[in-house]
Amino acid sequence: MSNIFFTLRFGLGNVVQSIPAYLSLCEKHDVTVAYTPLYPTDSVARAGFFPSEVEEMDIVTFTDEVKKYDYLANLPYGIVADKTGNFIMEVLDGISELDSEVERSMKYCEYFGCTKKITRGSVKTKRGKDFDDRPYVILHNGALDSEEWRMKRYPMFERLALLIKRELGLEVASIGSEKEYIKGTVDLTGKELLESSAYIENAKFYVGTDSGMYHIAGYLEVPGVVMFTATSPSKNWDKNFHHTITPIKSDTCKYGQWGYHWHPACGSCKQSTLYHPCQTIDPWKVLSKVAEVL
């Protein structure tokens, strides 16, 4: 049995997708989880959804702490190092563009001799005293709170919400930040992460974009659809981890993200203040998939 220092970085989606790898490692090894934030938005990754205690530490403390362990496993970079910091392997070297981020994380299991399987440990969700327990179709237009990821947004969510109510007779509600509220829906935005997770857990169905909330829906095995605009389903959707979620891609997107890299011609998508063709997924197409899955 090895002592492994499992360190998390980046945002919520990366962290949630690393949970199966962490749980697999725990079956044979002593694993400690820490979090070293890189960006202000990284605070969502330490908000309690991970199925263990996660200690946040600055880079100085981290550098000293890692020396106490046999190995460092660094997510989502996919790096394994020994206690002196010497590089051993990078799991990205062993995957193709068609492998998912979940599959990338699971490469740790191969290195450490663990069974590679999708395991879902218990997680904490929170239902406050005013929790609305009606089983809504939960909508989340992720990335409205992040200019860096504006190309993940879906500009026709308001139209889609109207169609779900009118054509399917279902009540819809928005979660996320206040900026991510979708007009015409029940407003469940502005909640802390664990309460938003509880609304996803209680949902009749989930409809979202490629964001952390979508990965939580996949982890909780909630039925749903996810709309991919510029980002890649091959990287960000895993057939086992997200098996209850159906991915939908624009028919007009010629470029966008391909696996772990961006197409050279995709710069306009990240720079434009207008919506890119990859974001013009027909809401009727989404509605049809919602009705099919339901």
Kindly give the confidence (pLDDT) of every residue in the chain, 294 residues in length, as a single tens digit, with 9 standing for 90 and above: 889 888 887 778 888 998 999 999 999 999 988 887 766 555 555 567 888 888 888 888 888 888 889 988 877 667 788 877 777 776 666 677 788 889 888 888 888 888 888 888 888 888 988 999 999 999 999 877 777 777 788 999 999 999 999 999 999 999 999 999 999 999 999 999 999 999 999 999 999 999 999 999 999 999 999 999 888 898 899 999 999 999 998 877 777 777 777 777 765 555 555 566 778 899 999 999 999 988
Coil, strand or helix at 56: strand
DSSP string covering 247-283: EEE-SS--SSEETTEE-GGGHHHHH-SSPPGGG---H
Q: Helix %, strand %, coil % for the chain, to 5?
A: 35, 20, 45
**Contact 25/114 with Cβ under 8 angstroms?**
yes
The token pair that represents 168 in the structure block? 């399917």
Instruction: Please name each of the domains of the chain with its CATH number.
Output: 3-111 (3.40.50), 137-289 (3.40.50.2000)
CB contact burial 218-229 (16+ within 10 A = b; e otherwise): bbbebebbbbbb
- Element at 84 (helix H, strand E): none
Nearest-CA neighbor of 176 among 128, 222, 208? 208
The backbone torsions φ and ψ at residue 144, rounded to the nearest 5 degrees and listed phi first, read: -65, -20
* pLDDT reported for residue 92: 61
Q: What is the pLDDT of residue 91?
A: 64
